[in-house]
Amino acid sequence: MSENYELFELDTSVVPSILGFTAAAILLIFIYICLNRLKERNQKNNHKLIGCNFKPNIKPKAVRSPNGQPPQHFKKSPSPTVPSKLLPGVESPTAEQQPIPNLKTVKYTEENEKKKVETTDLEKVNVNGNTEGQEEENDGLLGTLVFKLRYFADGNAFVVSIVRCRGLPSKNATNAEKLQASTDPYIKLQLLPEKQHKVKTRVVRKTRNPVYDEDFTFYGLSLSDLNAMSLHFVVLSFDRYSRDDIIGEVVCPLSSVNLQQIENQQVAISKEIQPRSLKIKLQGRGELLLSLCWQPAASRLTVVLLKARNLPRMDVTGLADPYVKIYLLYNGQRISKKKTHVKKRTLNPVFNESFAFDIPPNLNDSSLQGVSIELMLLDWDRVTKNEVIGKLELGGPNCNGSALNHWTEVCNSPRRQIAEWHKLNE
């Protein structure tokens, strides 16, 4: 009886161990099967992705047509000079919207620059293989811009190809350092008079002869629309830590281009890059109306900016975005600064803003000796550095003419508001 009892105890202690080993074996088999199925699924997905050219579904940007038609789509077209990277059997995602045939053009590089390209009857493209020093002699002071035009009547597509720039000036370099220094240029393009069609190229690092070979296609434009438009190129130098510097600009009225010729073939054009300050010198810098009042008891000088007139056209559209900076100087050093609001798209802005400057207490309350006012009228720009249109100084050693008479009258007539027009200087 005791022997049977011991056997029964032995059997009951072995059963849980057997069950545990069985469950572990089943779990291992299940994990093994799951891993095999996951591996097979990944292999199938990899085989499917080999022939696919994945591209994100980016909605094209709508561009308003100048003739009042419904908005069309603008896309940056693939360059006809660069071979397509799509695999065989995969169609281009823009093939339906852009039935544009391949163009027989010459890709601009430093090596094959001796090849000739098609030119217009107005201007010829100089693409001879010159050295860098010879290019500077042929190019203008700010260099030249080479671009190509093509029009496709079937899709109302106007293609502008920005090819390259030559002989750009170096950034912050003297004449002796000009050959060795470089810049980081890129180009902004817009169609005028409407400024809604804006595009830009990539930045090419550390070069004065950048090659872009980038094509930009504008849809929904007829030949009659193009005849009233102009191409506005702005060449800029990229600056990582401040606003980008403007090197110069190129304006190409399409009315001066043979539009029938660009409908049949691609036409290359070369133009000199012009400084933006040139138009200021030709048009003048305008005039500024301001009022001054000196209050000796409060040691306070009040400056009222009333308005300006006859400002130069800073944009090709014939407008500007002016504002005024005012500096208070004591013995030639700036001790206070104020500025007005920006007045958008006008050449005759009305400011009507008043600013009060407290004069340092160590001055004689009865005079403004050693005190001067410097005014700077600027054109505001969202991306690039704001350009100075003109300056005006009241008081100080450089004050003369009407500014000197105005300042003298203010000093001799305290507590009176005295207003006068002044021409802006360089």
pLDDT, position 85: 44
pLDDT single digits (tens) 269-284 = 999 998 876 555 656 7
CATH number of the structural domain spanning residue 248 = 2.60.40.150
Residues 304, 293: Cα–Cα separation, whole Å: 9
* 317 within some domain: yes
Whether residues 258 and 291 fall in one domain? no
Domains in the chain, number: 2
Does 229 fall in a domain? yes
**pLDDT of 62 above 60:** no
Residue 57 has pLDDT above 70, yes or no: no
- 99-109: average pLDDT: 44
Task: Name the residue range of residue 242's domain.
Answer: 61-84+97-275
Question: Could you tell me if 294 and 221 lie in one domain?
Answer: no
Are both 295 and 193 inside the same structural domain?
no
Query: Amino acid identity, residue 230?
Result: S
CA separation, residue 33 to residues 11, 26, 40, 43, 326 (Å):
33, 11, 11, 16, 79
Three-state DSSP class for residue 25: helix
Distance CA 275, CA 140 (A): 11
182-222 pLDDT, tens digit per residue, is 788 999 998 887 766 788 999 999 899 999 999 999 988 88
Indicate whether 14 belongs to any domain.
no
Identify the domain boundary among 222, 249, 275: 275
In a domain, 327, yes or no: yes
Q: Which residues pair with residue 235 across a beta bridge?
A: 187, 248
